[in-house]
A and B are shown apart, each in its own frame.
Chain A
Amino acid sequence: MYAQILEERRQSIGTGGDVGRTRSIRCETASVSGAVSQRACVYCGARVVLNPITDAFHLVHGPIGCASYTWDIRGSLSSGSELYRNSFSTDLQERDVIFGGAEKLARAIDEAVERYRPPLIFVYCTCIVGVIGDDVDAVCRSAEARHGVRVIPVKAPGFSGSKSTGYRLACEALMKLLEGHEWDGEREGVNILGDYNLAGEMWIIVGYMRRLGIPVAATFTGDASFERLLRAPRARLNVVQCAGSMMYLANLMEETFGIPWVKASFFGLEDTSTALRQVADLVGDDEIRRRAREFTEERSRETAKLVGPYHGRLAGKRAAIFVGGGFKAISLVRQFREMGMETVLVGTQTGKADEYEVLGRLVGPDTVILDDANPAELERFLVERGADILVGGVKERPLAYKLGIAFCDHNHERKHALAGYEGVENFTREVASSILSPVWRHARG
């Protein structure tokens, strides 16, 4: 027996047959109470975007839980400092809640500066900080003056919106960082926005740019450091990969520094090649453009040869996608198509209306499209549509397995790159190794 779909949720569930044609998906709203949303919170959104800044001191001002659960939250890799991989918290106690935590915060910052000398400190305020009345702005301002390092508050109480709100806060914090670093000189190269260097993906992208002859000024925020971020205003173009988290920053940077942006996806053969050619067109000369064409053709050919043997075995299998943002979902649908697979369910935690419209056009008429899905809905549609694999985050994995469905982790914790040509290879192998595993034969008995 499937659970009944909650009345308030019906607006957020549609199919390829109607979304973008006769109706739209309700999205970008608060989660329904008691629905068991898969979403995290505002703080989490801000933290995941900023956390990959490797030499920043990320300090959670609040009770311990939030820091515990986000310790080393992304598998972001660093070529330099490892400071970001620690979990720092003011660990507010009952007494602090009663008497206020501002003083403790100020002292914690002093200790951090003395011990780690970070060039940059982010102070994340979680749920209760505003409620108990800590003037965090004042604490940060005075710490900045006292120590001569940037201390940027990120006021992210969980109740103040959704994960997307947190992305915005992170973007604002990044802008605050760039303030006063306008660049009047010659502009050169690009910034990469919205890649978090999971399993080295940012390095892969930067490597491509180097092959093409396009310098990368700054990366947001995979393998970023304070100093490298400050080079961002020198770029000619912002290449925005994870649109959900970074479009806001791209817009702000366009307003402030006059840097135009382009969206790009590095997931899938086609998307990667398109992205590289577009960037070359936008900032490159004829030579760079020629190189881009040559490079993408060569790599596409090679990669297709490597993954080809799997395609025969995967063709006709049915995929379900439930990921964080819409842009990635779109990329995945296209990637499955390249593999000869059909997407029968696609949903996101924080997708936007226009993205759902694109999805509606991309998928077949019976494909389920849903925003902010919960386990009961996922269970129902996975089984109903006969999905062979679910692509999602760690929380969704046990459900897929219990339902006897293969799984691919497309979230923070993966250990191999899924971006670029290398990623196509890894992705194909991972999908194949799960769908084609002999265990299912026994489980289905």
Chain B
Amino acid sequence: MASKNGIDRQDEDEVCPVCKSSRYLNPNMRFLINPECYHKMCESCVDRIFSSGPASCPVAGCRKTLRKNRFRQQTFEDIGVEREVDIRRRVMHILNRREEEFDSKRAYDDFLEQREEIIANLVCRTDVAKTEAQLQAYAQENMQSIKANQLLEEQEATSFQKKILMEQEEARLRQQMAREEYENERREQQATREDFLTRLASGSSVDAAALAREGNKVHLKKSSARRSEEERIRQKQAALRGSEGKRTGTPLTTADTAGAVAGAGFIKGLRKIKTPEPEKPYDPFMGLVPGKRDYYTQLESYPYAFLDKLRADTTVQAGGYALQEYYSRTLLEAFAGLGCFVQEEVAERDATSALGLSKPASTEGAAMAAVGEKAA
């Protein structure tokens, strides 16, 4: 926003360090820099020297090879800051961990400081090679998480932009509303006044007093009615605003940081990422299948003479008697109790209470088992 038009005002006597032409002679002079060496020169110098391909920097003592397409205008007045911001941009793109990825606030702070340290190293040109190597290694290892976080950042930026735009629009609307409201009120006031005057003019002088009183009351009533109406509209608006806020206010999902563990050697205090188990389909009976039995499967029909007779008899079945029901009930009764192991329970009971009258429950169980076998 700010520095789009860089030629607003610099000192009159600013001189290009390469061709020595000053702004006094050429008021439209623009200065460009190249992020290779950050030497400043005027636009015409750039055209002159670099149009025919890469060349070395014309500033004495600087032998960097520069290309024309990398030249750009300088954003900040201070070249040092300009360079720092460039470096920072690069580093921030790579080391873009977010606070929610860390175990604690302290770990995040340590990370921030570490990042600052790296930037400072690059800016001051101390240990450049080592730092660069570290950065490269980190970037390669954490390609995925870097991408994810970048995406997330972009999303945040756009949603913020949207929110701002919406707010501005709302404010504009509200302002308009207020203006209209004011206008309406004024117009109405004027109308009642005029009406009042005409009635006074046309009516006889005797009822003037009554008229005056009435006019006042009407006016008051109107204003109070209008007020309540306004209140209603306002409330509606507020409700609307609230719902919209909720809609836009849905939190952004945090990035799934696959491969975050890989960067753990370089950045400390990262939260360990657990990949959640894939969720199974929901089972309403908690593993219980309705028709399934543990010890038997029910057949369609059982050969039994007594029942065959019944099956053939329509008069029996017309009343709703189903043989299947009979089978299932009988089978259930027959197999009931098979899961109980009486001996074990008895032993247990004996162990807890030394004296105990043991009931001959085992026989019952055995009898049932016999029935079941027969039925199967």
* B and A form one assembly: no
